[in-house]
Amino acid sequence: MRLRLLVCSVVMGVSAIASAEPKVTVSPPWVRGGDPVLITVTGTNVLPKGSASGEPLRFFASKTGFQAVMAIPLDAKTADKLAIDIDHVKLPVFVRVTALKGAETKVTVDEDLADPSKAEGKRIDRDNYSIIDSATKSHTEPQFTKPFYRPQGQVTSPFGEWRIFNDGYRSQHLGVDLYAREGAKVLAVNAGTVTLVRETLLAGNVVVIAHGAGIATAYFHLDKATVAVGDVVKQGEQVGLAGQTGRTTGPHLHISVRVPGGFVDPLAFFKLKLAPQAKAKAP
Ligand SMILES: [Zn+2]
């Protein structure tokens, strides 16, 4: 009798350890290159640490456990498997990837923009650096508590499209273009801090908002910005007016979303069920 009890307690002990292991879920389970994935860890009270294909994950407390967002590399190939490693979880979780096949379109813009001089080329490099630098300044905890929302407007150009300009220059579209009237209000898709307001050569007037958790959104071709660097904005607060500044063929809103690992398809990002826990206000 004593022996049986002993065996029983050992079995229970093992199963208790097994159930204590955190559970990792990834959504969506099937993704393309340039898509974001949402990683949720439940069954632990300790902030998880981990990485996906070598990139560190930035977990935050959410209403459904701990969450982190991660970009699938733009050049990921079909049948690639993204390995997500989390501390205290024995085996990595894999996500299956399909290659992003961006369509090619020819774009004709003004000759002076199609054929930038050497000085303009340097300015373009500085512009790009400042956009990426400001988009990666999103190191804080999440500054948002509500899910992100998709701005209004029909898609006029999808994420990942390859553009071949009249000067032969090829560039991949790392955002989505939405129809917008000139002068229409452009609203922050979520709460955050403005990290860049800049007049650039190709993207025109640009506003970048850092939302925390490594997430940033950028708004291009604005007629004008109505915020300044350092401004804290609420979800739905106006950041500018839509326009057609920079290298563009007409008024529209270009929006880019950056998460740890790179730029992602904004339309896929806006579908993620992000649910950070509201912070208790400091006394
Ligand atoms: Zn665009």
Count of helix runs (H) and strand runs (E) in the chain: 4, 22
Q: Where are the beta strands (DSSP E) in 53-109?
A: 55-56, 60-62, 65-71, 81-86, 93-98, 104-107
Domain boundaries, the chain: 2-98, 104-269
How remote is the CA of residue 194 from the centroid of ligand 1, in Å?
20
How remote is the CA of residue 109 from the centroid of ligand 1, in Å?
14
Model confidence at 19: pLDDT above 60 = no
Q: Are 97 and 72 in contact (CB under 8 A)?
A: yes
Model confidence at 273: pLDDT above 70 = yes
User: What's the pLDDT tens digit per position in 161-201?
Assistant: 998 877 777 789 999 999 999 999 999 999 999 999 999 99
266 prior amide bond cis, ω within 30: no
User: What's the pLDDT tens digit per position in 199-248?
Assistant: 999 999 999 999 999 999 999 999 999 999 999 999 999 999 999 999 88
The per-residue pLDDT for 2 is 41
How remote is the CA of residue 222 from the centroid of ligand 1, in Å?
12
User: What's the pLDDT tens digit per position in 79-106?
Assistant: 888 888 888 788 888 888 999 988 888 8
Q: Who wins on pLDDT, 123 or 249?
A: 123
How remote is the CA of residue 265 from the centroid of ligand 1, in Å?
12
How remote is the CA of residue 258 from the centroid of ligand 1, in Å?
14
Beta bridge partners of 257: 217, 264
Model confidence at 17: pLDDT above 70 = no
How remote is the CA of residue 253 from the centroid of ligand 1, in Å?
7
Beta bridge partners of 254: 177, 220
How remote is the CA of residue 65 from the centroid of ligand 1, in Å?
35
Model confidence at 283: pLDDT above 90 = no
Kindly state the average pLDDT of the residues 132-149: 90
Architecture of domain 104-269: Distorted Sandwich (2.70)
The per-residue pLDDT for 91 is 81
User: Rounded CA gap, 25 and 39, in Å?
Assistant: 6
Model confidence at 282: pLDDT above 80 = no
The per-residue pLDDT for 220 is 98
How remote is the CA of residue 87 from the centroid of ligand 1, in Å?
38
Q: Who wins on pLDDT, 222 or 16?
A: 222
Q: Quick one: pLDDT band at residue 5, thresholds 50, 70, 90?
A: very low
How remote is the CA of residue 56 from the centroid of ligand 1, in Å?
28
Model confidence at 279: pLDDT above 80 = no
Architecture of domain 2-98: Sandwich (2.60)
Determine the 3-state secondary structure of 13 from DSSP.
Answer: helix
Average pLDDT, the chain: 87
